[in-house]
Amino acid sequence: MIRIEELVYRYDREAPEVLRGISLTIGEGMHTALIGPNGCGKTTLIKHLNALLLPASGSVLVDGMATTDAGAVREIRRRVGMVFQNPDTQIVGMTVEEDVAFGPGNLGLPPAEIRRRVDDCLAMVGMTGFEKRPPHTLSGGEKRLLSIAGVLAMDPRYIAFDEPTAYLDPAAKERVLAIIERLRRQGMAIIHIAHDMRDIAAVDRVAVMDRGSLVAEGTPAEVFGRAELLGSIGLDIPAGVGHD
């Protein structure tokens, strides 16, 4: 599991705290949604899960390994995959297959195993047949699927998705949500930053952030039932979500 304890972070020593003492545990196989108004610190929080950012105080432990332990960072990054909001920041290969092969190549895996992972992960996201395509010729939705395939190719135990349906048309959105649901059924632990509450109506747990703090946590029904709290921090819950 991932244990976040009393996590405090600021981007600059002089700057205000962006995370103000967050404690949260992410169990294996759990689908956790993270919601909160713009700028509350959601992306900053998930960047701590694989040591892209390190706590000013407090700690983040991934399966018992501290993200501040330089010797553990490689293993932590293998276990915790990160699908960023903008797939362009994540694409490194000249072709789709090269891109997916990049992570497993870095792990030093044998070529046959890399090939197997590339084929499996492209199949998993429905992109078989795209192997030789240069990524810049892909649509936004296809780039998102490619970035997911690249993360899956590392065979992670946890994946954090930062607004995975942002900027996608409804069909691409459905495909991405179906992939996330399939991963959850396969036992992957998922941390899912969401803007549209309809995307997370069926998760195991919702954590709500506001101005760097965790302000609520519970099942979707429990959290979406707290209309007053959500309204007070500027989140609106579309009709039909959170009500049976």
Task: Provide the token pair at 63.
Answer: 């399966």
Nearer to ligand ATP by C-beta: 40 or 149? 40
Residue 243 backbone dihedrals phi, psi, to 5 degrees:
-120, 130
Query: Applying CB under 6 A, does 40 fall inside the site for ligand ATP?
Result: yes
- Binding ligand ATP by CB under 6 A: which of 22, 30, 35, 36? 36
Residue 146 backbone dihedrals phi, psi, to 5 degrees:
-65, -40
Query: Applying CB under 6 A, does 4 fall inside the site for ligand ATP?
Result: no
CA-to-CA separations, 53 to 43, 46, 56, 172, in angstroms, rounded: 10, 9, 9, 30
Query: Applying CB under 6 A, does 148 fall inside the site for ligand ATP?
Result: no
Query: Applying CB under 6 A, does 39 fall inside the site for ligand ATP?
Result: yes
Query: Applying CB under 5 A, does 95 fall inside the site for Mg ion?
Result: no
Distance (Å, whole) CA 140 – CA 166? 10
- Binding ligand ATP by CB under 6 A: which of 7, 24, 33, 41? 41
Nearest to 40 by CA among 13, 14, 60, 22: 22
CA-to-CA separations, 67 to 18, 36, 105, in angstroms, rounded: 18, 24, 23
Q: Nearest approach, Cβ of 193 to Mg ion (angstroms)?
A: 6
- Looking at residues 26 to 85 of the shown chain, list those that interact with Mg ion (rule: CB under 5 A): 42-43
Nearer to ligand ATP by C-beta: 97 or 162? 162
Distance (Å, whole) CA 82 – CA 120? 19
DSSP code string of 3-44: EEEEEEE-SSSSSPPSEEEEEEEE-TT-EEEEE-STTSSHHH
Which partner, Mg ion, ligand ATP, none, binds residue 214 by CB below 5 to 8 Å per kind?
Answer: none
Distance (Å, whole) CA 127 – CA 150? 12
Nearer to ligand ATP by C-beta: 157 or 192? 192
Query: Applying CB under 6 A, does 18 fall inside the site for ligand ATP?
Result: yes
Nearer to ligand ATP by C-beta: 82 or 138? 82
Which partner, ligand ATP, Mg ion, none, binds residue 129 by CB below 5 to 8 Å per kind?
Answer: none
- Binding ligand ATP by CB under 6 A: which of 42, 77, 143, 192? 42
- Does residue 184 contact residue 32 with C-beta atoms inside 8 Å? no
Binding site for ligand ATP (CB under 6 A): 11, 18, 36, 38-44
Residues that bind Mg ion (CB under 5 A): 42-43
